Structures are given as C-alpha cells and as structure tokens.
C-alpha cells in the first residue's frame, strides 16, 4: 500500500513537473491567442464608436444589427462565391502543373523556383501590379486583347461589374496556384509507383487510376492545402483592396473588407467586433466540420 502510494506520488510529481515545464509556453499562447479573443467578445457587447467610449454592457444590440445588415450578408456572399470559384481553379491548375513536373526534366528546379515566385510576393504588391496590368490605357491586358481583336479596346476591368470579379480572380489564381502546385507535387511524388505500374499493366483507365490510387494517396495532403487556401480566401483582403477597394459600389466587398471599413473607416469598433466574432464562429464551425468529415483530426 505504501509502495503504491509512493509510486503514485512520484507520478504526480513527474506530471506536475511536466506541467510546470510547459506552463510558460501555454501562458504565452493564451496571452496571444485567448486574450484578444476575449477582448473582442467583450468589445462586441459594449458600444465603442468614434465619439462614444461606452464600455458598459449593451446587450446584444450589435448582434441584432448583424441580421438586418444587408451589406454584411452581401459581403459574406461575395466571399463564399469567390472562394467557391477560386479554390477549384487553383486546385485544378496546381494539379496539372504538378503532373507536368512529376517526371525528371532539365532545369526542373529552376522552373519550380520561377513558378513559385508569385507566392513570395506581398499580396499588396501583387494587387497593385495587377491593377496596373488591367489599366484601361497603359495595361498590357487591354493591349494584348486589342492586338488579337485588331481594334482598340477600352475594357474597364476595375469599373465594369461584369469584368471586375474575373480580374480579381486572375490575380488571386496567379498568386496562389503555385502554392497548390508545390503541395500537390510533393504529394504526387509520394504516390506508390508500383501500384501505378500495376494498374497500367491491368489496363486501368486514367480516371480509374486517379480515383482508386492517386486520389486516396494525396487526399490528406490535398485536404490540408484546401483548408489553408479556403481560410485564406475567406480572409481575402489585400488583392481586392488594392485593385478595387471593394468597388464598384460595394460589389467586390468581402467580409474582411467590410469589417475593416466598419472598424477603421467608420470607427464602429464594437460593431466590427461583432462581425469579427461572427466570422471566427463561422470559420471555426467550418473547420471542425471539415476535420470530422475527413477524420484527419485523428
């Protein structure tokens, strides 16, 4: 009895020592991650605006306002639609590029490095560059189209409501397809060659090989890549801000741009906190759902 007690005490001491060791790291993480989150929630229940510094509890007034705010729901719709459009394109193009680079080829490393260049550029710079590319007078895009069409064209890419989303899509896909390419190249490189060869010998079609061998092998990596990119797209700000500023009107306003406008242009600090909480809540729910679906959390 006394022996088991002493073993138990030794284990407790060991556990306590472990907790003690990780305590500083946990404290820092809580400070960095949890404190702003709690502050955000608290602020969303106050009423801080440009002139009012009302820090008393104001109930759910800002959350109630969310439901009647058409501009908010429009910006969420823009965000969802753009994510739904950009993500498959990036996956498809990234996959095709990865296939291209799967086999040995001369100067492969150099080409891979060149393809990856857009991802290391700041999104603000990328957005500004594409804004110039799409400029109606000096931009090469209109000049190329004019050359092909054989007549002068004046497409207003950042003004025309039918052109503005495609323009943003081009910029976003240009910058982040290489990310997908890199992840998928790594994943495809690890697909079992013997299985592929066996499938080929057995006469399996390309589609069958992809569905039964390639896709299962790359799914975990692909899932992580899709998750990262989807979260990035939901938070999309820089490229749109530099290209259109959310315009024309509010046609390209994403949830991040709207939250920024509310917080730093209109100084609706408490309301923008409620928006931010809504976004965090929605994203967390989405990520948990996705993780459960793929069971990757295990």
Partner 1 sequence: MNRHRTLGAAASAAIALALAGQAAAQSSAERAAEAAKQYAGTTLNVFYEAGLQPLDPKNFTGPMWEELTGIKINVIEAPLDEMFTKIMQAHRAGSGAYDVLNVVPNQMPDLAFAGVLEPLDEWVDQYGYRDELSTIAPVYRDNQMMVEGTTYGFPDDGDVLVLYYRRDLFEDPENMAEFKAKHGYDLGPPKTWQQFNEIGQFITDKYAPDIYGAGMLRQPGNAQYLFQERFRVEGGKFFDSETMEATINSEAGVKVFTEMVEANKFMPPGVEQWGFIEAFNAFLAGDIAMTISWPPVGRWAAGYGKGTEALAWIPETQVADKIGYALPPGGTPELAVGFSLAVASGSENKEAAYLFIQWMNSEEISLQRVQLPFALRDPFRDSHFTSEEYRSRWPNAGDYLDTLKAGSETGLLDLSLIQTDRYEEGIRQAISSLWAGDDPQEILDELAESWDALTERIGVERQKRAYLDWASKPNAYPN
| Closest distance to partner 1 from the beta carbon of 41 (Å) | 20
Cα 280–286–289 angle (5° rounding)? Answer: 140
Of 256, 259, 255, 277, the closest CA to residue 45 belongs to 277
Query: Hey, what are 246's tokens?
Result: 């959310």
CB distance 141 to 157 below 8 Å: yes
Taking contact as CB under 8 A, which single stretch among the options 158-166, 184-192, 202-210, 284-292 is the one that binds partner 1?
A: 158-166
- Out of 58, 143, 219, 250, point to the residue binding partner 1 (CB under 8 A): 250
Going by the DSSP 8-state scheme, the letter that residue 103 receives in this structure is S
Number of residues forming the site for partner 1 (CB under 8 A)? 21
17/51 with CB nearer partner 1: 51
| Closest distance to partner 1 from the beta carbon of 287 (Å) | 31
| Length, in residues, of the chain | 298
Taking contact as CB under 8 A, which single stretch among the options 4-12, 96-104, 117-125, 151-159 is the one that binds partner 1?
A: 151-159
What is the footprint of partner 1 within residues 25-54 (CB under 8 A)? 50-51
CB distance 181 to 91 below 8 Å: no
Q: How far is CA 178 from the centre of its chain?
A: 14
What is the footprint of partner 1 within residues 100-139 (CB under 8 A)? 135-137
Dump the DSSP string for 55-79: -S--TTHHHHHHHT-HHHHHHHHHH
- Out of 110, 249, 295, 298, point to the residue binding partner 1 (CB under 8 A): 249
Going by the DSSP 8-state scheme, the letter that residue 17 receives in this structure is H
139/170 with CB nearer partner 1: 139
- Out of 46, 79, 129, 158, point to the residue binding partner 1 (CB under 8 A): 158
Residues that bind partner 1 (CB under 8 A): 50-51, 135-137, 154, 156, 158-161, 247-251, 261, 264-267
């Amino acid at each position: 009895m006394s022996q088991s007690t002493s073993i138990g005490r030794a284990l407790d001491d060991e556990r306590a020592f472990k907790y003690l060791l990780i305590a500083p790291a946990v404290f820092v993480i809580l400070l960095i991650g949890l404190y702003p989150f709690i502050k955000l929630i608290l602020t969303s229940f106050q009423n801080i605006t440009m002139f009012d510094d009302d820090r008393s509890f104001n109930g759910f007034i800002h959350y109630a306002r969310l439901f009647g705010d058409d501009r908010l729901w429009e910006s969420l719709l823009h965000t969802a639609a753009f994510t739904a459009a950009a993500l498959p394109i990036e996956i498809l193009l990234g996959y095709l590029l990865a296939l291209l680079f799967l086999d040995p080829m001369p100067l492969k490393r150099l080409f891979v490095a060149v393809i990856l260049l857009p991802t290391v550029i700041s999104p603000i710079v990328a957005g500004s560059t594409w804004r110039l590319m799409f400029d109606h007078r000096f931009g090469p895009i209109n000049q190329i189209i004019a050359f092909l069409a054989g007549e002068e064209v004046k497409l207003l890419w950042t003004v025309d409501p039918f052109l503005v989303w495609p323009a943003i899509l081009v910029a976003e896909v240009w910058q982040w397809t290489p990310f997908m390419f890199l992840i998928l190249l790594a994943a495809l490189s690890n697909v079992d060659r013997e299985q592929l060869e066996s499938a080929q010998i057995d006469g399996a079609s390309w589609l069958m090989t992809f569905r039964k061998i390639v896709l299962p092998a790359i799914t975990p990596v692909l899932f992580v890549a899709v998750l990262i990119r989807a979260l990035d797209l939901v938070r999309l700000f820089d490229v749109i801000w530099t290209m259109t500023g959310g315009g024309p009107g509010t046609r390209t306003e994403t949830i991040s741009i709207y939250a920024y406008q509310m917080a730093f242009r209109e100084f609706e600090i408490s309301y923008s906190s409620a928006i931010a909480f809504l976004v965090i809540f929605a994203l967390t729910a989405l990520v948990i759902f996705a993780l459960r679906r793929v069971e990757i959390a295990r």
